[in-house]
Amino acid sequence: MSVRVNLLVILLVLAGGAAATAAAGLSGATVSSPAVRDVSFAPDGTCDLATIEAVSSRHQEVRQFVLMTTGAFDQSVGTVEVAVRNDRGVWHCQHSAMAARFGRNGTRPLLERRSGDGTTPAGVFPLGVVTAWDGQVFSIFGNRPDPGVLVPYRAVRLQDCWGATANTAAYQHLVDRPWCPGPHDEWLAGYGDAYSHAAVIGANLDPVSGDEPGETPYAAAIFLHRTSYLGSGESKATSGCVSLAYEDLVDTLRLIDPRLTPHFAIGPVDWLRSSA
């Protein structure tokens, strides 16, 4: 009788140990599994999260910022960074600072500038959504094939003319005008590699001011596009857009995610932190 009892005890101990081991293995597997991210970011990336968080406090619907900053309103040299907010409300860097060029006369708050004044509109603007003359809806376009962006992409047609002549019906619209005869309009195909790829910055876009007589023409054809260079290799300021070197441009455009309500925050750092 005692032998049978002892054998039963041994079996129970062994069974309990196996169950404990299995439970420990299951628990260990759960703990060691990597956390699932709802957004992608660079774990070791650095960017100006202080400015992002300050701007975000006034634009709480935005989960992705393309931060475009200079040191002062009169500067045409600055940086572009990308940051994203996860579903727990924590901001992370998606791309560290990249050298960028701005308008030849710096930046200026949108409602203080006018088309053709050589400044980049300062403020917080959504990714633009445009309906072309042929009905296509897009946010990024280019003279090169789609580099793999997440938003609708338009391959430039020869007819594509971006109206930039103030107080005309075509102002800040993409119309069908081959060669684009207006004095300030932009024939997209004619910009070649500068518009290899370009994202539409939604400054003065919805609604548009300036496409009717008497309206103030705040801005037209404001894009994030490729930087142009002088013969010496020096980068050129823009007429009012923001520009990046080609590889930086492609990296940035591929990150823009329409699910995250992406916005561009443009202007001097101190101004963005306090006012934008």
Q: Which pLDDT tens digit goes with each residue over 189-236?
A: 999 999 999 999 999 999 999 999 999 999 999 999 999 999 999 999
Is the pLDDT score of 260 beyond 90? yes
> CB-based contacts of 103: which residues, under 8 Å, 6+ apart?
76, 118, 119, 120, 237, 238, 239, 240, 241
CB-CB contact of 222 with 266 (8 Å): no
Place of tokens 């430039």: 156
Residue 119 burial (CB count, 10 A): 25
Q: What is the pLDDT of residue 45?
A: 86
Asked if 159 and 172 count as a contact pair (C-beta separation under 8 A), the reply is no
Q: How far is CA 97 from CA 21, 37, 82, 88, 135, in A?
A: 49, 23, 8, 24, 36
In whole angstroms, give the CA distance from residue 274 to residue 271: 5
What is the average per-residue pLDDT within 34-38?
53
Please state the pTM of the whole predicted model.
0.86
Residue 170 is predicted with a pLDDT of 96
Is residue 250 scored above 60 in pLDDT? yes
Over the stretch 3-22, which tens digit does the pLDDT of each residue have?
A: 444 444 434 434 444 444 44
Q: Are 137 and 152 in contact (CB under 8 A)?
A: yes
Tokens 């994030």, residue located: 224
DSSP E strand stretches across 133-262: 137-138, 140-142, 153-155, 160-162, 174-176, 186-187, 198-200, 223-226, 242-244
Provide the pairing of β-strand 140-142 with 153-155: parallel
Residue 93: strand, helix, or coil: strand
Contact 210, 105 (CB under 8 A): no
